[in-house]
A and B are shown apart, each in its own frame.
Chain A
Amino acid sequence: MRTAVSPMLVRLADERATGVLVRDHGALYLADGQIVHAESPAAPGLDVLLTASGRLRPEHWADAVAQAGARNEVARFLVDSGQVAGGELEICHLGALFDAAFFALAPGSGPTRFRYGVAHWIGAVRPVPAQVVEREARRRGRLLDSLWPYPEMDTAPVERSPHTTELTVSPRQQALLNLADGVRTPAAIARKLGRPAFNTLIEVRRLAAAGLIQIRAEPAEPTEPTAISEIAEPPAMLDSALLRRLRDALEASL
């Protein structure tokens, strides 16, 4: 069995701790050792997921936070006031929780801190055992790798591939491709569409594997081409085996 992504999280779950675990790329909120909420700058929050689609108006979200935030019951307020159905809120919140947790649990070099007693204002929705969240984060890493092993796609501006193909895409994929303008990163596209960031990474890697999307090609150098620039490989051509070895070495050293 592989070692835990975060040994500290395992320990906190064992001691049924309540508080917030802050890591390099995000934060996990625990209540009695279970994960009740997660946040990451890389993942759209519940507010974005609910408002981007027009499901909830931004002012209604702000009102819910203002009215129930102080008593940590924003989720309950949204359901009790009839603005979002209980099932919908659970689907949306769980999606956001696992999404942010994937980024929060990504290997990082910075310190991990835990602040006891801190609760998030969203309140109780549907707690998830810490080991389930951790196992899912590992599965997600493997899934991305198996689809198209180029992690640099996750954070780079992406654009539609210039080559036309006979492939048809679904309306969901088309909506994503329409936003791939060579400026937006997959995370920016996710935010715009109101979809979880990980789901967008998955779709981007699948579309890349199908030859429909690529990292933005660097504009052609205006200076006369030299032998060196012809030899230099663009980032997309990086050897995937080398990337895997690098990542494994990084993970092993943690």
Chain B
Amino acid sequence: MPGIDECLLEAMLVPGARGAAVVDWISGLALGSVGEPSGSDHEATAAETAELARMATEYGAFAPEEPAVDDDSGKAKGPPVEDLIVTTRTGYHVVRFVETTFDSSVFLHLWLDRELGNLALARLRLSDLAERLVLG
């Protein structure tokens, strides 16, 4: 998969998808967005989602107890928080943290229609997309 646009277009193929974005959770910047925004516009949606994601990464309550690096292989075990799921009356939000080999703070956000979407499927597809976005 060559880049952000292709990744977002693939995310929109997930059944029930209404909107998707790649967002930096420190700055609140939307690096790319497609479909409908769940908030007032894509910019505000990105900033608000970023705030939620940031808290999940910063609060000790959500930090895994085990070390971030595997003792045997010395390799990183993946992001401490993998994804966030918010269920609303009419929709689902899945936020998947993207792990890059350089120091970054980026996640994928997918917003789904509750009637048409399948949360378990969406979560798996988004985790696969997040991985392929940075593997090429």
| B43 x A139 contact (CB < 8 A) | yes
Question: A62 at interface (Cβ–Cβ under 8 A)?
Answer: no
| B136 x A143 contact (CB < 8 A) | no
With A87-B3, A91-B22, A98-B29: A53-B136 Cβ-Cβ less than 8 Å: no
| A85 x B29 contact (CB < 8 A) | no
- Contact residues in A for B31 (Cβ distance below 8 Å): 90-91, 94-95
- Contact residues in B for A79 (Cβ distance below 8 Å): 136
A171 to B43, CA, bound (A): 27
With A139-B43, A170-B57: A88-B101 Cβ-Cβ less than 8 Å: yes
A91 to B136, CA, bound (A): 12
| A126 x B4 contact (CB < 8 A) | yes
- The one of A82, A91, A126, A199 that contacts B26, using a Cβ cutoff of 8 Å: A199
| A195 x B103 contact (CB < 8 A) | yes
In B28-62, the 8 Å CB interface with A consists of 28-29, 31-32, 43, 47, 57-58, 60
B108 to chain A, nearest CB (A): 11
| A87 x B27 contact (CB < 8 A) | no
| A88 x B134 contact (CB < 8 A) | yes
With A53-B102, A85-B134: A90-B3 Cβ-Cβ less than 8 Å: yes
| A55 x B102 contact (CB < 8 A) | yes
Question: B106 at interface (Cβ–Cβ under 8 A)?
Answer: yes
- Contact residues in A for B84 (Cβ distance below 8 Å): none
With A49-B102, A139-B47, A199-B27: A91-B134 Cβ-Cβ less than 8 Å: yes
In A157-179, the 8 Å CB interface with B consists of 168-173
Question: A135 at interface (Cβ–Cβ under 8 A)?
Answer: yes
With A90-B3, A168-B60: A198-B68 Cβ-Cβ less than 8 Å: no
- Contact residues in A for B74 (Cβ distance below 8 Å): none
| B27 x A198 contact (CB < 8 A) | yes
Question: B1 at interface (Cβ–Cβ under 8 A)?
Answer: yes
- Contact residues in B for A198 (Cβ distance below 8 Å): 27
- The one of B32, B58, B103, B136 that contacts A194, using a Cβ cutoff of 8 Å: B103
A95 to B29, CA, bound (A): 9
Please give me the residue from chain B that is nearest to A49 by CB atom: B102
| A53 x B103 contact (CB < 8 A) | yes
A100 to B118, CA, bound (A): 40
A50 to B134, CA, bound (A): 13
| B134 x A92 contact (CB < 8 A) | no
Question: A202 at interface (Cβ–Cβ under 8 A)?
Answer: yes
- Per-residue B-contact encoding for A135-154, CB less than 8 Å = 1, 0 else: 11001100100000000000
A161 to chain B, nearest CB (A): 18
- Contact residues in A for B2 (Cβ distance below 8 Å): 86-87
| A95 x B68 contact (CB < 8 A) | no
With A85-B136, A98-B27: A91-B4 Cβ-Cβ less than 8 Å: yes
Given contacts A95-B29, A199-B27, 15 further A-B contacts (CB under 8 A): A53-B101, A53-B102, A55-B100, A85-B133, A86-B1, A87-B3, A87-B7, A91-B106, A91-B134, A139-B43, A168-B60, A171-B68, A196-B27, A199-B105, A202-B26
